[in-house]
Structure 1
Amino acid sequence: MSTATTRGQRTGETGETGEQAPAAADALAGLLVSGERPPRPSAWAASAAFGWRAVLKIKHVPEQLFDVTVFPIMMVLMFTYLFGGALAGSTDQYVQFLLPGILVMNIVMITMYTGVAVNIDIAKGVFDRFRTLPIWRPSAMVGYLLGDMLRYTIACAVMLALGLVLGFRPAGGVTGVVAGVALLIVFAFAFSWIWTMFGLMLRTEKSVMGVSMMVIFPLTFLSNVFVDPATMPGWLQAFVNNSPVTHLASAVRGLMAGDWPATEIAWSLGWGAALVAVFGTATMRLYNRK
């Protein structure tokens, strides 16, 4: 009797077929939205959160700092003692010319790791989760670049400290050095958008590094980082004198020497704005479509 009654109650609750009756839409809405939704994070808050994520990755994998510590030290020592005696007569004189240029060269070269990091996260499926979040869409990309700015600052500090040991004495003092480093980091932020585009476009991290090297090596070596372009053939001077790396190296070198090379600074900032406009737009289009 009790068994029949229980079955009758179950039948009345779930229907004749024994399946659960559908819940009312109002009841579901009450469960899902039990209170006020938290405010949507601002563009800066979302970008800063992704930037902090990039910093935490360095904390858990400190080997990532090799390219901003060991590699810059090797470059400064190698080129100072390799070319110093032949080009300037002594390493002390050559390091005054070389260090600002090698600073630019190293920072520009390590920007490619931004694209590598983006490509790795895509392969792991991390970006699929980012795309579902109610945040400012470019914040994931901007966060990568904000985190890398810390790496660029570390690399600059390491090279400047080594340069002071080798005899580098900037006539512009602390102000000139800080201004030069700030301009360099701003340009590196803009330049990194090239590699975010390649990170989204190419299939593997090895292909990203291969393409990056093909672009960076000619761009950095065909510049005024190591020698004055006046010693080059005329056809090569036309390329070197209009290279963004040449303008940036001249601007950083002038600021550290105590000058204010307004033309070179304007060229460097103009190149940076153009890179963000072109490659930043291309990056976000690929990100929205990928």
Structure 2
Amino acid sequence: MKEITSIHNSYIKELQKLQDKSRERKKIGRFIIEGKREISLAIKGNYEFDTILFVEEIISEKEILALFNENVNRIVISKEVYQKLAYRDSTEGILAVTKAKDFSLENIKFKNKNPLILIAESVEKPGNIGALLRTADAANLDAVFIADPKSDLYNSNIIRSSVGCVFTNEIALGTSAEIINFLQKNNINIFAATLQNSNEYHKENYTEATAIVVGTEATGLTEQWRDAATQNINIPMQGQIDSMNVSVSAAIILFEAKRQRNF
């Protein structure tokens, strides 16, 4: 089994680029997963792995083989190399070089006849995207669509903040126009979370095929989504502010939809 102990190794330098640059991840079609829990969720999500790098003093080869079959390519690395590549401060001693998935709308397969979908338009902050993906996993949604994406979903911040739920959700990326066309073609009702011309969210029926659409906290949803909506909806505020964190808003509406569907 190969062993790498130097941070100046050419392969390690390539992996650093992969970790740091979205452009590199897109060009090569690979990304790095850090941590046992996240890797386990990627396995459940049917991701394919190129190489597993691990620190023997932290995690044994036996533990690696408990996660993967013995045919997986394995490289022992030093703690120094691991610290150079690892994103988090916590040390689990395992990294996986993983093949990216194609997030095209054409690849979406719904589990249910009346799917429940979350759509996030132009959400920039990785922490918010991660929280939305955690909410989607908790609600066992049929899919998450990212409209006009501003971040690479394989950004380490998103993987970390989603606690691996980027691997457990059915995800598609596209322009707002493409996603609206997809929803209309598939007879999916669109409920856009916005203050303009809206009804209180709990007064609507979400038992049919439904897409809940949320936007950025700064500017909200664009006119394109407000016009395409079957109904605009709002969460009535009882304090001094007129909005909440996007992931909190999405959770409130989604779990009302789940309640109506008897979970």
- Both proteins in one fold, TM over 0.5: no
Structure possessing the higher radius of gyration over alpha carbons: 1
**Structure of greater relative contact order (alpha carbons < 8 Å, 6+ residues apart):** 1
Higher helix share: 1
Quickly name the TM-score band, shorter chain normalised.
under 0.3
